[in-house]
């Protein structure tokens, strides 16, 4: 029997992350202790009250039915969270749709909006799901370079008119992954005006809204006119360490929310009810959990950035997110430097070009290990002599 994949699968090649996993396994098989700073998966547990709520509800025999859509309580909790955290009014009835993790929405929204040949503007470097969603919808990708000289904000004026007239969607991500840049109110105002002028929908990926250190990130929806042109997607994966629970949401323009919900009713049967109930507690929580969480990541950031500077690797300290976007020493490509770190220091990071052409010359380092492991990573890098090779 001959089995052939659809032609669209040609766009989905093996990712760099799979290659890194193989390299990590090789080092482990050789008996080395490997410190993985590549994948942005929180190593911290969710809040105690989230765990307790889940433990309580999983024994309820009525909890295992299809949930279909977000519960009324979940929608209301999202609205309360946005009002309390960002002073943004959200109508819980028609401006919220629950997602099975933000990647669910990021990948599927292009299917809702784009026909073959339509353009999607994506940040470059950018999160890999943006490119996957565009390919799935058979849309064309137009990369918006994120450059240090522009504070890693895309230059909207550099996009050609022939692209803009065919563009349906623009994706933004602040604080970003892999680039932990911060948007300004002035930039978001420019985005709203730009979107209205060119009739482009805006999707703002806000997954790192609560992982900040020096200043609080801005919700795109706090910008006047933002709801007219777009939606914002947010997740409980990073902020509340609930990555495996797969629960998130999109908020904003009611028409877009309705269109995305229409697709989702044909794709899935909702999120496990106990997970929704636990998410409601997290979103309405007023304890110091988020401050405590931020402090842990801040300690890791400072330990790693200061430690690398002492070794002679000058890198920028991020204001937010769980990543460091580090310009690599001269004389290496991103992949070459990544390979050196794995083979000589047993430290795994992600090469910047995994996130797009404009990521070359950088690596992404995830703050997903405790201080003790970060110290070991610094010691390994120092003893390897990598930073003195070229």
Is residue 302 included in any domain, yes or no? Answer: yes
Work out the number of other CB atoms within 10 angstroms of the CB of residue 143: 17
Rg of the chain over Cα atoms, rounded to whole angstroms, equals 21
Q: CATH number for the domain including 121?
A: 3.40.640.10
**pLDDT tens-digit readout, 62-111:** 999 999 989 999 999 999 999 999 999 999 999 999 999 999 999 999 99
Residues 294 and 274 occupy one common structural domain? no
223 shares its domain with 187: yes
Would you say residue 389 has pLDDT above 60?
Answer: no
Shared domain for 321 and 260, answered yes or no, is no
Report the percentage of the chain scoring pLDDT > 70.
99
Of the candidates 229, 251, 284, which is a domain's last residue? 284
Assess whether 76 and 97 both reside in one domain: yes
pLDDT at 388 over 70: yes
Q: Report if residue 54 sits inside a domain.
A: no
Mean pLDDT across 32-49: 93
Structural domain span for residue 153: 63-284
What is the per-residue pLDDT for 20?
84
Tell me the pLDDT band of 32, cut-offs 50, 70 and 90: confident
The whole-chain average pLDDT of the chain stands at 95
Flag whether 106 is in a domain. Answer: yes
Assess whether 279 and 309 both reside in one domain. no
String of b and e for 176-209 (b: at least 16 CB within 10 Å)?
Answer: bbbbbbbbeeebbeebbebbeebebbbbbbbbbb
11, pLDDT greater than 90 = no
End position of a domain, from candidates 284, 310, 340: 284
Tell me the whole-structure pTM to 2 decimals: 0.95
25 vs 300: which has the higher pLDDT: 300
Residues 123 and 152 in one domain: yes
199 and 309 housed in the same domain: no
Whether 82 and 216 map to the same domain: the answer is yes
261 plus 305 within the same structural domain: no
pLDDT at 14: 66
pLDDT at residue 39 in the model:
87
For residues 25 and 86, membership in a common domain is answered with: no
**Number of domains into which the chain is organized:** 2
> What CATH number is associated with residue 384?
3.90.1150.10
pLDDT at 3 (0 to 100): 92
Q: Is residue 51 part of a domain?
A: no
Give residue 51's pLDDT.
97
pLDDT digits (tens, 9 = 90+) for 98-153: 999 999 999 999 999 999 999 999 999 999 999 999 999 999 999 999 999 999 99
């Amino acid at each position: 029997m001959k089995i052939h994949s659809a032609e669209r699968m040609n766009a989905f090649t093996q990712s760099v992350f799979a290659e890194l996993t193989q390299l990590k396994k090789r080092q482990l098989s050789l008996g080395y202790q490997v410190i993985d700073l590549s994948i942005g998966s929180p190593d911290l547990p969710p809040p105690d009250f989230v765990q307790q709520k889940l433990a309580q509800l999983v024994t309820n025999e009525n909890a295992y039915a299809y949930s279909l859509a977000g519960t009324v309580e979940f929608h209301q909790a999202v609205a309360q969270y946005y009002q309390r955290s960002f002073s943004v009014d959200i109508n819980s009835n028609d401006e919220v749709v629950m997602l099975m993790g933000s990647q669910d929405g990021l990948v599927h929204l292009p299917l809702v909006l784009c026909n073959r040949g339509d353009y999607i503007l994506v940040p470059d470097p950018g999160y890999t799901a943006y490119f996957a969603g565009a390919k799935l919808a058979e849309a064309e990708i137009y990369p918006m370079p994120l450059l240090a000289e522009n504070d890693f904000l895309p230059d909207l004026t550099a996009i050609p008119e022939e692209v803009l007239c065919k563009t349906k969607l623009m994706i933004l991500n602040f604080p970003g992954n892999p680039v932990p840049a911060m948007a300004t109110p002035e930039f978001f105002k420019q985005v709203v005006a730009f979107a209205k002028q060119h009739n482009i929908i805006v999707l703002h990926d806000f997954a790192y809204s609560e992982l900040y250190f020096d200043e609080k990130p801005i919700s795109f929806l706090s910008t006047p006119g933002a709801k007219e042109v777009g939606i914002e997607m947010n997740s409980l994966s990073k902020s509340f360490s609930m990555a495996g629970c797969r629960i998130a949401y999109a908020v904003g323009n009611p028409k877009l929310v309705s269109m995305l919900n229409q697709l989702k009713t044909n794709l899935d049967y909702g999120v496990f009810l106990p997970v929704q109930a636990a998410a409601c507690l997290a979103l309405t929580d007023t304890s110091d959990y988020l401050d405590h969480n931020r402090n842990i990541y801040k300690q890791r950031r400072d330990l790693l950035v200061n430690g690398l500077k002492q070794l002679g690797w000058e890198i920028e300290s991020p204001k937010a997110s769980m990543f460091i976007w580090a310009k690599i020493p001269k004389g290496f490509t991103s992949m070459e430097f990544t390979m050196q770190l794995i083979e000589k220091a047993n430290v795994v990071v992600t090469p910047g070009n995994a996130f797009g052409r404009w990521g070359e010359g950088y690596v992404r380092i995830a703050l997903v290990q405790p201080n003790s492991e970060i110290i070991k990573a610094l010691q390994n890098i120092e003893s390897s002599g990598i930073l003195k090779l070229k």
